Amino acid sequence: MKRKLVLLIMVLAAAFMITACGQESGESGSEGTEAGSKAFDPAQVKTLGDLFAFENDGEHQEGFSEEKYVYVLEQDGVYYRAAVDLPEDVSEALWAIEFDDEDRDQKVRDLVSPLEIKNLENLNEQIPSQEELDKLVGKTGQDLFDDGWSQNGYDLEEMQAWMNHGPFAYIVKFEYDGEPMVNTDDFDFEKEFKDLKVKSVEYDGIGDAANPE
């Protein structure tokens, strides 16, 4: 059975307020204090440990699957994402760590810190323009679902939803002139919204950016 991915959302938005991990040990930890006082220079970041050293200066997300580890860090208003392929031995060691282990976060960092970053993305450069988002107006909810959009919450009074697509979050409003919808414990968002047309889409910041899948 395929293992479920692990996704740790770290203080990237009000909806994801979780305390960040402690200071790293090993190579990255020994440089953390010194690196944290320096200006962030993507060109100087070679390993995940180098990136972790700047963690206290910005918000972050991290997550991993069996094959990949993803880390997102904010520095001076810019979000950077590093994704590395996990060697088999590192992956096995990561999944062997118990979830209730008090030292779990540190053990994860110790395992992945030496891994070399092949590509450090500047996510700010990928934020779609409002002009691009306006092209979604008139599409149906099903069109969005088929394209990989997922909802992270909704407001039936305003007929809007907070949705994720790729690494970003959006506020999507829908056209609706029927009887007011009632939220219930078994409310099926996709069923109720699949035929509704998009009225507007607004960029709402970084979303599920560390999802490794």
Torsions phi, psi for 50 (to 5 deg): -60, -40
User: Model pTM?
Assistant: 0.78
Burial class (CB in 10 A: 0-12, 13-18, 19+), 33: exposed
- Which of 7-11, 105-109, 165-169, 176-180 bottoms out in mean pLDDT, i.e. has the lowest? 7-11
Distance CA 90, CA 93 (A): 5
Distance CA 12, CA 7 (A): 13
Asked whether the beta carbons of 210 and 8 are under 8 A apart, the reply is yes
Could you give the residue ranges of the DSSP H alpha helices within 5-87?
A: 26-36, 48-52
Higher pLDDT, residue 64 or 4:
64
Q: What is the pLDDT of residues 16-25, one digit of tens each?
A: 333 333 333 3
Q: What is the pLDDT of residues 55-79, one digit of tens each?
A: 876 789 999 999 999 999 999 999 9
Distance CA 91, CA 73 (A): 22
Which pair of tokens denotes residue 19? 């305390």
DSSP code at position 154: E
At 184, the amino acid letter reads T
H helices, E strands: number in the chain: 7, 9
Dihedral through CA 5, CA 115, CA 19, CA 73, nearest 10? -100
Q: What is the pLDDT of residues 111-142, one digit of tens each?
A: 999 999 989 999 999 999 999 999 999 999 99
Which pair of tokens denotes residue 105? 């976060």
Distance CA 54, CA 204 (A): 25
Question: What confidence score (pLDDT) does residue 25 get?
Answer: 34
Residue 102: count of CB within 10 angstroms of its CB: 8
